[in-house]
Structure 1
């Protein structure tokens, strides 16, 4: 079982590709597709509200373990470049570059485009990604793409086993009420294993709950391990009180003030004390204000593009996180490249 973000700009072919990989499901600012055959279960997420807003992109990336970066025959544009910056700042390493609409290009054009893509990806976490030409019209390249996805799926499954015995964490992406059942959430187990009748807490609302039932692909389960996409029936909370980005766990840090280690994007205008930005962590988002910047142990007024620093933030509303979680600082007022810094929380 693996979740896949299919990203790119408008006209990148991402939505057409996503629709060929699975059956359409929930639609909001993201559109979800599901595929199940034998033991293989895929969840595909198309950030349909992007690039108008960066939030659908950060949501899709936060829900996924594999990224498919879609580049059309015209090549990379501002949106695809912004996607690469987000991937790099979040430290995402598992992905594939898909040259979409490959039937509209000749082999020379595809190779030239691939070389340009490789050049842009140098120095990022996507630098070693395979580049696969695909057509959703002729289906050329689709089998090669599926084989590449399967290979990454197997690698991720092995990696997930390492976290199976850790404290469970479930990131919520949907919540609703079901008549006769009660409160139900949909989400992904990103760490540990959740069990039926287990008592945990929803953060940051700090509400104790009990897991009444677990479902995966409409099949009841007694437990679900890391990487699993689950539906959880919950006791002790109403669906209306649970939001996208809430975390079901036994222990999260919840704060309105935080200090982060940040890498400032070389494509940004840098960071400055007093600036108001927007912060994304897991699937949570909130306005923040920079209250302090430290470079090499010295308090400074700003951090330049391409630098590293410690940033103190005053957060608009409480967020929950654990050590090692990745944060994105974003300037929503920028017309093109909105992701300013990738940051990590360390105890």
Structure 2
């Protein structure tokens, strides 16, 4: 069974609420002020049972120009609109404005309902139908059914129900396998129950006991209970009007315009790049730094416009615009919105978000080309563009959040992009080749500066590189990146040190003399006196530089204290221990002391190093060969 939301739209006093009551038997004007004034102020909600047994939700929106903001909140999530025109007045200003708003919100199916038909002659109804054909030409209502009704006498109501049923079958079912999201249009405390929020489920599904967050701010909450059309349910699905009882959130911490969704599934941003169309009837072209009202979901946010492909966008034209927001916006890629002028308040256009994590730009031809690709591109193109635009490694969760697509679908596209080498996996995160090259350039720059200051050093340790990196990979990710740099012959690894492949160390005569002195000293110590780098340096900076130069060439550095052996002494010790193991299968510390002619402390240092490089393995009080 499809989950469908039907919305009303049309000029004030054209009979929207009366029609809903005639269809459902229920009154949607619940405020005293609404009943007193005879107009809808807030959104009204109810449901309709169709002849085929399917139950659809109904959102009744206000028609007065002062309450357009409420109307836009109600239009969010509408699948089928009952576009209402009173027979005694015909098309009016809010009729045109509501049609524009519905188009910008991507509503593309509707029924034109001519109300108050008993108040006019049949000849006049024919004239109204002609007017409606002109009015709807070129819009999503151009081929919509036109039904004549009178809500008081009941004329045409049953026919309308049948047409609603037929049109409902043509509505495309919403996705329930994408991350859950609901724009909140009401939030209120209920005595003995707690906080209740209502809205239309835009995407995904929600179940009792689920942990969710309220955006903006990602405040944690839990679903205590769910109602759909006034009945308790364990799960609600995309396309249903839903009331959710929440725990973990207090009264006053949540309001209309907030979004309830899965943790990490939404993007919070202050700048968005968009495709915008300006209404043909607007008196306001969009120009640089124009202050606007952005209506998105159930929220309105003030923003400034920066056209990206022209100085301004005139009536009836479209173009790319950057919107710089005056407060954080919670959204996803491809979300629809409405633009209204700051003052006087008038609907002037609408559009779609192309880049929700934009950076500041003015008119920019190259940026416009990128936005055109994103607008037309497939999911894989959007993922690559996202990876290129972010100077960091991205988790699968972040990619899913950006695209707004189902996790499994995104994962399939990511795997295909990995095969095509359009993106690269670094441990558990992803990066484009373009961004990886920027990370590599940053590491090269770090090493170049280090080599300039330390010409005799082999390079830097992983941890030293990590503390200076601009891109903040974790240690495992940095190891992966360094391996890629080695494979590309950019860096070399010498023990624990990494240096540029191009870095060549040449000793001057004085340093050559120090080197020979060090070799003689370490050789004289042999295995009886094992010193470390610090003690051999003697607090002399140049001796330390020469020792660094010797690492991996003449000397071996091992152990937690950076102990030093000549490579020739290490090979002799290794040969003696391994020969004994080949003949005897195991060796004790005492037997190793006899072979190495050294102290117990030094023998333990050597044996522990053999264990660490997998030459030997300790078993109880002896070693065996691996």
Secondary structure in structure 2 of the residue aligned to 1:346? strand
**Structure 1 residues 33 and 170: CA distance shift in structure 2, 3 A:** closer
1:343 aligns with one of 341, 346, 351: 351
CA deviations over 1:223-251 (Å, ceiling 9, x no partner): 11111122212122123211112211121
In 1, distance between residues paired with 2:249 and 2:129?
A: 50
Query: Which of 65, 68, 93 is the aligned partner of 1:51?
Result: 65
Distance change (3 Å), C-alpha of 1:37 and 1:10: closer
Of 312, 320, 323, the residue aligned with 2:330 is 320
Contact conserved, 1:88 with 1:126, CA < 8 A, in 2?
Answer: no
1:167 aligns with 2:182: no
- Whole-angstrom CA distance in 2 between matches of 1:310 and 1:176: 39
Match of 2:126 among 111, 119, 133: 111
Q: Name the SS of the counterpart of 1:202 in structure 2.
A: strand
Deviation of the 1:141 alpha carbon: 0.8
Kindly state the Cα deviation for residue 107 of structure 1 after the two structures are TM-superposed: 2.8
| CA drift at 1:345 | 0.8
Secondary structure, in 3 states, of the residue corresponding to 1:103? helix
Does the CA-based 8 Å contact 2:222-2:247 persist in structure 1?
yes
Instruction: Number of aligned residue pairs: give it.
Output: 337
Q: Given that residues 280 and 327 in structure 1 are in contact (C-alpha distance below 8 angstroms), is that contact kept between their aligned partners in structure 2?
A: yes
Aligned position for 2:267: 253
Query: Which residue of 186, 190, 198 maps to 1:186?
Result: 198
Measured after TM superposition, the shift of residue 334 of structure 1 is 4.2
Q: Does the CA contact (< 8 Å) of 2:43 and 2:74 recur in 1?
A: no
Larger Rg: 2
Q: Matched residues in 1 for 2:227 and 2:106: separation?
A: 30
Match of residue 14 from structure 1: 16
Unaligned runs of 5+ in 2: 32-39, 356-626
Cα offsets for 1:255-308 (capped at 9, x unmatched): 122211111212113101121111100111111111x1022xxxx331111211
1:181-220 paired onto structure 2 within 5 Å: 181-220=193-232
The structure, 1 or 2, with the larger RCO (C-alpha pairs under 8 Å, 6+ apart) is: 1
Gaps of 5+ in 1: none
Tell me, yes or no, if structure 1 residue 308 matches structure 2 residue 318: yes
Matches within 5 A, 1:254-269: 254-268=268-282, 269=284
Give the corresponding residue for 2:602.
none
Aligned-partner Cα distance in 2 for 1:215–1:72: 34
Distance 2:223 2:230 in 1: 16
Question: What is the root-mean-square deviation in Å for CA atoms of aligned residues?
Answer: 2.1
Question: By how many angstroms is 1:24 displaced?
Answer: 2.4
Q: Deviations over 1:308-337 (max 9, x none)?
A: 1111112122221111210111015347xx
Structure with greater strand percent: 1
Instruction: Please tell me whether residue 79 in structure 1 is matched to residue 94 in structure 2.
Output: yes
Flag the structure with higher helix content. 2
Aligned to 1:271: 286
The alignment status of 1:155 with 2:170, answered yes or no, reads: yes
For 2:92 and 2:186, locate their aligned partners in 1 and report how far apart those are by CA, in whole Å: 32
* C-alpha distance in 1 between matches for 2:314 and 2:13: 33
- Out of 122, 126, 141, the residue aligned to residue 126 of structure 1 is 141
The answer to whether the Cα contact below 8 Å between 2:23 and 2:157 also exists between their aligned partners in 1 is no
Deviation of 1:135 (Å): 0.5
